[in-house]
């Protein structure tokens, strides 16, 4: 039931807007030396904004946007169902801005 409600709300959001942009994670990529030996559920879920896209089958992709202290960070863009063309067009705009 919860998944159905989340997907419904997300679909309504994407019916209203062309796309949703979220950070790929809450921080830059960690150094290997800073990674825990075991990934906990909390670690995998708490800082990950993308499961919403996956739950509803919404097309999405992640783009590298830059570096902070030589560590990469990115953003994730999602569009409504069957709007892959729009997703790629919006992603191209982001690449043009961040790679210039």
Residue 77 CB coordination number (10 Å)? 22
Q: What average pLDDT is seen over the chain?
A: 81
What pLDDT score was predicted for residue 44? 54
What pLDDT score was predicted for residue 97? 87
pLDDT for residue 12 is more than 90: yes
Task: Classify 66 as helix, strand or coil.
Answer: strand
Q: Is the pTM of this model over 0.85?
A: no
* Burial status of residue 6 (CB atoms within 10 A of its CB: 0-12, 13-18, 19 or more): middle
pLDDT digits (tens, 9 = 90+) for 25-80: 766 666 666 666 555 555 555 456 667 777 888 999 989 888 888 888 888 999 99
What pLDDT score was predicted for residue 58? 92
DSSP state, 61? E
């Amino acid at each position: 039931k919860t998944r159905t409600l989340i997907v419904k709300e997300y679909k309504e959001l994407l019916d209203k807007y062309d796309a949703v942009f979220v950070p790929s994670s809450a921080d830059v990529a960690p150094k290997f030396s800073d990674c825990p030996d075991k990934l906990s559920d909390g670690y995998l879920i708490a800082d990950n904004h993308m499961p919403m896209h996956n739950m509803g089958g919404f097309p999405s992709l992640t783009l590298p946007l830059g570096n902070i202290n030589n560590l990469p960070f990115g953003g994730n863009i999602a569009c409504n169902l069957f709007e892959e063309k729009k997703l790629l067009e919006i992603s191209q705009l982001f690449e043009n801005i961040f790679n210039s």
